[in-house]
Structure 1
Amino acid sequence: MSIKETRSTALDVAGTFSDRPLFFDGSLDEGLFLVRPKGGDDVVGMSGVFDEVMKGLYYGTKESVGCAVEMVKRNMVGLEEFRFFYGYYGWEKEQLKDEIRFGYWTVAACSPSVIDLRSVGSVGLWEKVLGLMGRRKVR
């Protein structure tokens, strides 16, 4: 489903991102996006607008989507370098630590190369990461 099909005004400033796929996640907040700039210049990081998740991967919200539009219009970042989400899940720090300790979650190292924002195939990110990790015994 695309942003245009959901009629989300939070992520579709001036129609720039209207044809980008929209991924559905948790019930918190309306709009969130990831951007992974390709190329050597880290214009996204230097902008100071987006928060860095890990080296080379940033996230933005509906409040910063206007800046993202400007970067696309100025050819600083390509449309394919964005992935948009409708909602997300969140935990308090200690809550997440406890859930990991009790075995509810499997923690994996990650890198921006694993999170390919340009591909939207039949295999989701979760399946891709689990495939890279191999079989794990569930406690």
Structure 2
Amino acid sequence: MFVVIYPGNGDQSIPDRDSSRRNNSSESNKSNGDASQKFLDVNTNWREFRAMLYNNYQVEKTDSVAQGGTPHVSKPLGPKWAHPLSAPETGCVLLATEKLDGVRTFERTVVLLLRSGTRHPQEGPFGVVINRPLHKKIKHMKPNNNELATTFADCSLHFGGPLEASMFLLKVGKKSKIGGFEEVIPGLCFGARNSLDEAAELVKRGTLKSEDFKFFVGYAGWQLDQLREEIESDYWHVAACSPHLIFGDSSDSWSESLWKEILQEMGGHYSELSRKPKQDI
């Protein structure tokens, strides 16, 4: 039943006159709903969609060279994938190149970019190093903050970068967006010291577990043009990679071997770079 609003006359109901017309309308609405849902799914998973396009392009290019243009069969995208990007974006990773070998702070690091930044001096791009575990737990640091000393006492600490500030990542999985925390990629958000109370409340309510949090000492930050110049000067490879690589259940996630694994997933000459020994500087 459709309801039409007549100004000044209240709600007037118009009964259905034709059941077949009603069914057609219902089918049309269902079709539109399905189309909308598909659009939402594509919009939500646009990173995976882009990765699939890149993967198919690489396969097609390889097959064309090897088989003289024989049509290729698209391969499904696995849980682990990575591909290069032409420019940094929120949620991408920066992989240190051999030019940073010997620079202890960034040598063979993987930086997860939490914000791609703007040209404003106080709003440049920043992120955290995600493959430098400190092999210590928060309780070993004897924190003064009550939530750190209790709720998050057994959480691992990681070196996040040379700039002074503490941040944390929270793995939210397929849960809807959690208020008060900024999404980096679907399933992963970040927070800072001023949102510790909200984070602890999520654990106390059972929404998340303390194991879903990773805490970082320090962070990495740039001016917008500074990061672009470093990328153009070949200090960083820019890549998109699957959430499974960034916060999967494998022991390689968050470990020093993550740098090598992402480069290998990128394939081609990147895979070759992952096997090169460190440069003596």
The TM-score by the shorter chain falls in which range?
Answer: 0.7 to 0.9
1:126 to 235, 254, 259: 259
Q: 1:91 to 1:117 in 2, by over 3 A?
A: farther
Q: Is the partner of 2:241 in helix, strand or coil?
A: coil
In the aligned structure 2, how far is the partner of 1:26 from the partner of 1:109?
20
Structure 1 residues 6 and 73, CA gap change in structure 2 (3 angstroms): same
Q: Following TM superposition, by how much is the alpha carbon of 1:69 offset from its aligned partner in structure 2, in angstroms?
A: 0.4
Q: Report runs of 4+ in structure 1 exceeding 4 Å deviation.
A: 117-122
C-alpha contact 1:4 1:12 (8 A) present in aligned 2:
no
Deviation for aligned residue 1:64? 0.6
The 8 Å contact of residues 28 and 89 in structure 1, kept in 2 or not, is answered as yes
Moved more, 86-95 or 26-35: 26-35
Identity of aligned residues (%): 37
Amino acid at match of 1:19: D
- Pair 1:82 & 2:213 matched: yes
Following superposition, the deviation at residue 24 of structure 1 comes to 1.5
For 2:243, the equivalent position in structure 1 comes to: 112
1:46 equivalent to 2:181? Answer: no
Residues 7 and 32 of structure 1, relative CA distance in 2, 3 Å threshold = same
Question: Is 1:58 aligned to 2:189, yes or no?
Answer: yes
State the distance in 2 between where 1:55 and 1:28 align: 26
Structure 1 residue 118, shift from structure 2 partner: 5.4
- 8 A contact 1:34–1:59 mirrored in 2: yes
The higher relative CO (CA closer than 8 Å, separation ≥ 6) is in 1
**Are positions 1:15 and 2:150 aligned together?**
yes
Aligned residues: 134
C-alpha distance in 2, partners of 1:103/1:110? 19
Q: TM-score, normalised by structure 2?
A: 0.43
Q: Is the 8 A contact 2:137 2:157 kept in 1?
A: yes
- Per-residue deviation, 1:120: 5.3
Once the two structures are overlaid, the 10-residue window that deviates more, 29-38 or 96-105, is 29-38
Q: Provide the TM-score with structure 1 as the length reference.
A: 0.82
Relative to its length, the structure with more strand (as a share) is 2
CA change 1:81–1:102 in 2 (3 A) is same
- Given that 1:32 and 1:84 are in contact with CA atoms closer than 8 Å, whether structure 2 keeps it comes out as yes
Partner Cα distance (1:90, 1:101) in 2? 17
The 3 A distance-change label for structure 1 pair 9 and 127 is farther
Where does structure 1 lack aligned partners over 5 or more consecutive residues? none
Pairwise CA distance, 1:111: 2.8
Q: Secondary structure, in 3 states, of the residue corresponding to 2:208?
A: coil
Of residues 71-80 and 11-20 in structure 1, the stretch that sits farther from structure 2 once superposed is 11-20
